[in-house]
Amino acid sequence: MSAEATNPGAPLRKRSRPRIDLRRLGRVALLGPVSRDRLPDAIGHVAEAHRAHCPDADLTVLRRAYLLAETSHRGQMRKSGEPYITHPLAVTLILAELGAETTTLTASLLHDTVEDTEVTLDQVREEFGDEVCYLVDGVTKLEKVDYGAAAEPETFRKMLVATGNDVRVMSIKLADRLHNMRTLGVMRPEKQARIAKVTRDVLIPLAERLGVQALKTELEDLVFAILHPAEYAHTRSLIAAWEDAQPPLTEIAESVRSTLREAGVAAEVLIRPRHFVSVHRVRMKRGELRGTDFGRLLVLVGEDADCYAVLGELHTCFTPVISEFKDFIAAPKFNLYQSLHTAVVGPEGAVAEVLIRTHRMHKVAEAGVVALGNPYTADGATEPADGERADPTRPGWLSRLLDWQESATDPDTFWTTLRADLAQDREITVFRTDGGTLGLPAGASCVDAAYAQYGYEAHGSIGARVNGRLATLSTVLNDGDTVQLLLAQDASSGPSPEWLDHVRTPAARIAITGWLDAHPAGAQGPHGRAAEPRPQAQPADDAATGRGRTDSRPASVAVDTPGAPVRLAGCCTPVPPDDIIGCTVRGGTVTVHRTECPAVARMKAIGRAAVGARWHDTGDWTDTADYRVTLVAESFGRPRLLADLTEAIATADAAIVAATVEPPSEQRVRHTYTLQLPDAAGLPGLMRAMRDVPGVYDVSRAQQPATTV
């Protein structure tokens, strides 16, 4: 089937194969006798189209599938008044013309039997095998009586999950929707609009991503005619006027043929008319259409090297428009598309766009995954060790979709997120420092890369290195970038609501939203970021010098030396629920440190005894005294950095007891603050607020005493 424009009314284009009268064929199938030793006449056209692509195909299974479908649907009528069997016949013919293999055609003949007749999946499996049964089940709708308003989104979820295991499921669904759109005129206008919008938002992007341009372009035109009838009518009149005139592309095409003949390059040069939506887009972009805007030249050759030979001849013998050159052979699109795109200036200054590809590339460009045949044959895939089938046609975007849909348990969330995800029509590849790659939608940021690589651990992201340079999480990634994500050591770190402004992937958005929802507004710290609730510690003292305050009440720490005075060390400023240990100093006082504090090792080395210590399991940790903590902020140097950091600290109701700023080194600056906070629960929120300051890429707890300035 051609990918050229399809007129929902009377066709404007001449076709190499006349449209088949499926209404007549369906009635013949219902009323006429069928011999058991040959194919029924009603699917003769399907057999002819199938044999054109697969000369050695065994058509016996198609005969059996047709007989089951015709018998099952006998007596059912479509709303258009046609026998229902015309629909599975039309769907199968669409796929046959695209080059689908026999299993797909068998399933397409049966795709409505389980949904609309008494045939069961067990019967399909027994008669046609597991593969056909899986495809039929994949496209069978869920019952509205069971799912209510969620039936449509959950049906698409079911179909997409099935497509993740076998892309032929979606091939059948796309052909099914195309025939339904062709016959949508019998529906009420409001239902036409509803179906057209779902087709526009979900099915057309899926057709684009699977590379099935032949279906995608016709679906676009049919949706255009329903949702924008005035613009469609105007575009149709423009195309009709162009077809009646002498197309200026004809002269340029002949010049190209002559040039390639003289160069000895065997090539077929065709004029490829644009479809309705394509013409409309060009008109919106340029305003007034030129004669060459209604079509493009298509040059088909035998080998990849011939594509570049044609390109060289065209750029030598014609004036090329360099800005229009794109090489999708060396760098194929994510939907399998390969072609060279260029534009040349013809006689009288007319500019013609030219597509150059091999016949094989053209087949894949038109039919996408359908042209790949059965992906599970011996030469198409290998059987993995775990026994599950590996689908070589499963692209990265589909894998990502299947991952995030598991987290979108609510049908409305899934439906909204699916439409937003499919609206992103370009993909980039970024490289990890460990040699792996990440496939992301165009416009993705370091936040997206973090969640793609680390999942929920990305909640602790604090920055990244892009191509070796430190970068903020909001940095937008480009195709081919190398990215290294930086994660905080503090397990309490969480995402910021501002991250939602930078994410493009549903997986990241769902994970961030879920974390924020799990931390209610009442527990939010500075900048609206939720803070993990923690009990307050006692005020700190400086254990290294023996200076500090003696609390007027017992510390919130229990030690294994009964009756000994207890103080919290100022070198590492422990707070609940840090892992802690005590060390006995002069006078019998026990100073409590974080277990990883370097001072603990030094005291043990000089013979100071370690004392077991733990936070009280019960008691009020959040009243009375403040506590002290030392934080280190690492950042890029910039004007007003110190002012912005101190403002973030003040916003958290923290008092700066001491501070030091080290001289810049390689444009990086290290700030150390000793702070006094009224509540230990505010520490994670304070650290996140400091990380939010532009230029700051890490904030951590200090393990050495701060130097007062």
Distances (CA, A) of 194 to 79, 178, 186, 206, 708: 17, 15, 14, 18, 68
Distance from C-alpha of 408 to C-alpha of 506, rounded to nearest angstrom: 9
**Alpha helices, H only, 318-367:** 359-367
Burial status of residue 674 (CB atoms within 10 A of its CB: 0-12, 13-18, 19 or more): buried
Q: Which backbone phi and psi does 471 adopt, to 5 degrees?
A: -145, 155
> How far is the C-alpha of 424 from the C-alpha of 275, rounded, in Å?
22
Give the separation between CA 85 and CA 91, rounded to whole angstroms.
10
Q: Is residue 205 packed enough to be buried (19+ CB in 10 Å), middle (13-18) or exposed (0-12)?
A: buried
Give the list of residues 6+ apart from residue 118 with CB closer than 8 angstroms, or none. 72
Task: Judge contact between 136 and 124, C-beta under 8 A.
Answer: yes
Residues 110 and 68 sit within 8 Å (Cβ to Cβ): yes
Answer for the pair 196, 181: CB distance below 8 angstroms, yes or no.
yes
Residue 172 vs residues 135, 136, 367, 392, 401: alpha-carbon distances, Å: 8, 9, 12, 18, 19
Exposed / middle / buried, residue 80 (Cβ in 10 Å: 0-12, 13-18, 19+):
middle
Task: Check: CB of residue 354 under 8 Å from CB of residue 341.
Answer: yes
Residue 458 burial class via C-beta count within 10 angstroms: exposed 0-12, middle 13-18, buried 19 and up: buried
CA 388 to CA 385: how far, in whole Å?
Answer: 8
DSSP secondary structure string for all residues of 486-530: EE-S-TT----GGGGGT--SHHHHHHHHHHHHHS-GGGB-GGG-B
Half-sphere exposure of 566 (CA within 13 A, CB side): 24
Q: Largest alpha-carbon pair distance within the chain?
A: 109
The tokens describing 656, both together, are 């700066």
- Whether the Cβ atoms of residue 100 and residue 166 lie closer than 8 Å to each other: no
Cβ contacts of 447 within 8 Å, gap of 6 or more:
458, 461, 473, 474, 499, 502, 503, 508, 512
Under 8 Å between Cβ of 26 and 86: yes
Active site residues: 115-116
